[in-house]
Chain A
Amino acid sequence: MRKPFHLAWFTNFTPGDWTSSFAGTGSPWNGKFFVDMALAMERACFDYIMLEDTLMVSEAYRGTAEATLKHALQVPKHDPLPLAAMIAAATSRLGVVATMSTMAYPPFMLARLACTLDHIAAGRFGWNIVTSGEDTAAQNFGMDKLPPREMRYAMADEYVDLVCKLFDTWEPDAVAMDRARGVYADHTKVHPIHFKGKFFSCRGPLNTVRAPQGRPVFVQAGGSPRGRKFAAMHADSIIAVGNGIEGMKQYRDEVRAHAVAAGRNPDDVKVLFLVYPLLAETDEEAHAKHQRMVNSPAFIEAALAAISTVTDIDFSQFDLDKPLPHLTTNGEQGSLDKFAQWGSGKTLRQLASERFDAGLSMIGSPDSVAEKMSEAMEEIGGDGYLISTPFQRISRRFIIEICEGLVPALQRRGLVRTEYTRTMLRDTLTEF
């Protein structure tokens, strides 16, 4: 019997799939599409839905927002927090994780929001910690550019420290609700923090009741070595990029070592790897569907615009049918290296079509993909997968294929949860 693993879904409040034959309307702005998605995921016993976020309209490709808007690349993107509240209210067991950037919220506001959402979700809320990596986002918040990377991490360390202190400002039994004495909250159990750091200061206490989980779940996507360490120290779950089974195993082992070094039980940090499954009735149909998708001109242009965004290199300047010249970036060098596959001799068009490969090809019938997921997880060692789609182009049909096709195939193999046994998200994550 193989060890079971965890499932979550990486998505965002964007138009989703609006071009394919079964795309629906492309206007999910009342949020009901995502509520329905969360209900489908809850039926399939996922650990959590993760709502990614960014705070800008990118102009990296050709120096304009044209491609970004034309292909709806990360834009329009609505605020994940009202959506998180809607999802939390409509579900009862699924974890709800929303992204909030430390750049965008004062720590007090973020702690208050997270605490409020954890109450609305009855202990199922998580915060995906991001620092924002784009100058265009910084400029929306009154800065000329982002602080240097190292300083961003130092600020994030302090920010998280402060937020954790705020979560503890109300002792667990601070709300007395003693009707006989007429005492709602016991003032001796609610404490200011008088936090004075290098970057932030805050008096406290929070003006919200202590969160059901005490501290809501922390999720983090640590790619760089510094990021991994940060994630290993703070996160309950890590969003990890797939780069081949060997690389994934190595990544997880390293995170677990960091966690031990930080005095944590490594099993308390669930590393979930992003995968891009593509399902159909048969393997042949799935591969044909994949080929149609990645070879369409719109996909190629969207892939180039997307990689331009994270590397600050304008890929429109290169010939699609020739190999790339060697490039370096001040943006995400790791993403660039992975995209460019240096030395492979592939043309830019091929590279663009392989943008969402992740080193794990999860293409086929539900049974074949379940088998691949099982084998890969066996080798990596754990802890599970985050389902995603290229450019977050998601349709109801795709959601159904995962929740009514792939997940039951995994359940029949005993590889994923068939019922929730815990009520709070942290307990669900540490169930196995």
Chain B
Amino acid sequence: MPTPFHLAWFLQGSSIQAWGENWTGNISEEWMAPDMFLDLARSCERACFDYLLLEDSIYIGETWQASRDIFLRNGMSVPRQEPGIVAALMVAATSRLGIVPTLSTFAYAPYLVARMVGTLDQASSGRAGWNMVTGSSDLSARNFGLDRLPDHDLRYDMAEEFIEIVTRLWDSWEPGAIVADRNSGVLIDPTKVHTIDYEGRYYRSRGPLNSGPCPQGRPVIAQAGGSDRGRQFAATYADTIVAHVKGVDAMKAYRDDVHARMKTCGRSPESCKVLYLVAPVLADTPEEAQRRADTRRAQAEKHIDMRLAQMGWSTNIDFSTFDLDAPVGELTTNGHQQSLAQFLRKAGSRTLREAITNYASSGMSVDLVGTPEQVAGQMAEVMEEVGGDGFLFALPNVSRRSVCEITDGLVPALQQRGLVRREYTGRHLRDHLMEF
């Protein structure tokens, strides 16, 4: 019997993300009430996924010709709704699935993050998580009165204080603090609710949390640490990691590295599940799947400006000033370091045109192309080599149809092989993550 692995969904991009694709109904008229995303959550639950993660960004891109035009014209990561609100609606639409919104440390006060995620954990009976990000664009910083984001490593110094406050606030109510003793008339035992009196270099918070204790104690923490600092951070705090590393060898090396760091921190490697981003291409026959993959590549070539704008969006680099037919060369960023490093490593001596086409038409961590049966086999092989812990689906075209190809095509094929969950046995999100 093979070891089963975990599945989750990584919902990225705008609230009308699949605009212009087939099978998207009247999405451009109906998106404000996020029914399609709620159907996505229900579908993920039907497929027994561990969680659905809502990615976020809090600005409109301008990293192409120093203008918002391409981002607005094509709806690239805009419009997008507040993930905390969408997460609450998803919590109400489901009963077993974990719901993990992204909240940026530069945009929210630590107390508010603890309270918002804590409330989601309460409302969902223990299914909430927080995807911790530090932000990656100066444009977003300017929406919050800052000139620019702090430097990458400083952001992680600050994030450590931030997460210390958040976890201590979650711990500010001891288990059993709510006594609800009808005889003595005492609801809460004051001796079990504590201030945290945190005084850091960057943040201070007194506590205790006024929203009360969480069903999970501490809600789940998700993180996408790719850089050295990011990995260290994830190894210290995360229950699950969103990993975007290209190729089986890199995937295995990444997980081994995180496990080694966890051991140094005194954590058991099983207590954090590394899930790899993938964007499978599925169809009824192998030929049709290949055609779809070819179309994805042709689209990347045709819309090279959009793909470069997207890369610029996550790395703060305006590629419109670059020569498409010259080698990419060396670049640095204060944004997503891992994304840029991956891109540069894959690019090698290729021209920018070739490099971005390859990058944008790949299936993220590994290419998965075929019938559901074939892709299930490919995923089994990858997991066998990497060692665990599962996959996060991140489709560029989230429609009810593309979702159902995963949940009603691929997942049943994986279930028939005994590779993924067929029914939930735990109550909380952390139970799902620790089930196997």
Contact = CB atoms under 8 A, between A and B. Distances in A.
Contact of A397 (B371, B373, B401): B401
Given A43-B25, A285-B288, A404-B23, A21 B409 contact: yes
A92 interface: no
A401 B408 contact: no
In terms of DSSP, what is the predominant structure of the interface of chain B?
helix
A397 B404 contact: yes
Nearest to B27: A404
Interface stretch (A22-30, A222-230, A231-239, A262-270): A22-30
A331 B202 CA distance: 85
Interface residues of A, number: 27
A23 B408 contact: yes
A396 B47 CA distance: 13
Given A24-B412, A397-B409, A404 B25 contact: yes
Given A289-B284, A366-B22, A25 B401 contact: no
| Interface size grouping (class) on chain B | 20 to 34
A344 interface: no
A366 B22 CA distance: 9
B404 A405 contact: no
A396 B401 CA distance: 8
Interface in B37-85: 42
Contact of A400 (B371, B404, B409): B404
A281 interface: yes
B284 A21 contact: yes
A408 interface: yes
A21 B42 CA distance: 21
Nearest to B295: A281
Interface string B274-295: 0000000010110010001000
Contact of A25 (B373, B404, B412): B412
Given A281-B22, A411-B26, A400 B400 contact: yes
A23 B400 contact: no
A403 interface: yes
Contacts of B271: none
B23 A400 contact: yes
B23 A395 contact: no
Interface string B379-407: 00000000000000000000111001100
A397 B408 contact: yes
B219 interface: no
Contacts of B288: 285, 288
Nearest to A395: B408
B404 A403 contact: no
Contacts of A396: 404, 408
Interface string A393-432: 0011100110111011001000000000000000000000
Interface string A272-299: 0000000001000100110010000000
A20 interface: yes
A22 B409 contact: yes
Contacts of B292: 281
9 contacts: A21-B413, A43-B25, A285-B288, A292-B285, A395-B408, A397-B404, A397-B408, A404-B400, A404-B401
A-B complex: 4 closest residue pairs judged by Cβ atoms? A404-B25, A22-B409, A24-B408, A400-B401
Interface of A: 20-25, 36, 40, 43-44, 281, 285, 288-289, 292, 366, 395-397, 400-401, 403-405, 407-408, 411
